[in-house]
Amino acid sequence: DAGVIQSPRHEVTEMGQEVTLRCKPISGHDYLFWYRQTMMRGLELLIYFNNNVPIDDSGMPEDRFSAKMPNASFSTLKIQPSEPRDSAVYFCASSLVGRGRSPLHFGNGTRLTVT
């Protein structure tokens, strides 16, 4: 099992540019989560999907952020336009079942720097 795969590992972009982060969950997992981590705010849940459907996006900071899951093996998190305060490490995680019955498995993250 390759685990959760995220790409790219590092992204440096200029303010105003569009950024797309990608995630491939573990095969067979029904839940997918996007987190953001900063020194100031720690790990924050942005959005999660169940069977490709967004369930809770209350953590998405603003309309500049959007997430999609077109199929069970792929999800994207898009920021348009990007701003320096979006600089953070973005993690994707998946779990087999929900409701606390199985753990989240995290990818190694995408470190985003917006200049």
Residues that bind another protein (CB under 8 A): 4, 31, 33, 35, 42-43, 45, 48, 50, 55-56, 89, 91, 93, 98-101, 103-109, 111
The amino acid sitting at 72 is A
Output 78 or 111, the one with its CB closest to another protein.
111
Output 15 or 43, the one with its CB closest to another protein.
43
Closest approach, Cβ 53 to another protein, in A, equals 13
The amino acid sitting at 76 is T
Output 44 or 81, the one with its CB closest to another protein.
44
CA 108 to chain centre: 11
Closest approach, Cβ 89 to another protein, in A, equals 8
Output 15 or 55, the one with its CB closest to another protein.
55
Cα–Cα distance for residue pair 51/72, rounded to 1 Å: 7
Closest approach, Cβ 16 to another protein, in A, equals 27
Residues in contact with 29: Cβ distance below 8 Å, sequence separation at least 6, in sequence order = 94, 95, 96, 105
**Alpha-carbon torsion (51, 44, 106, 86), positive or negative:** positive
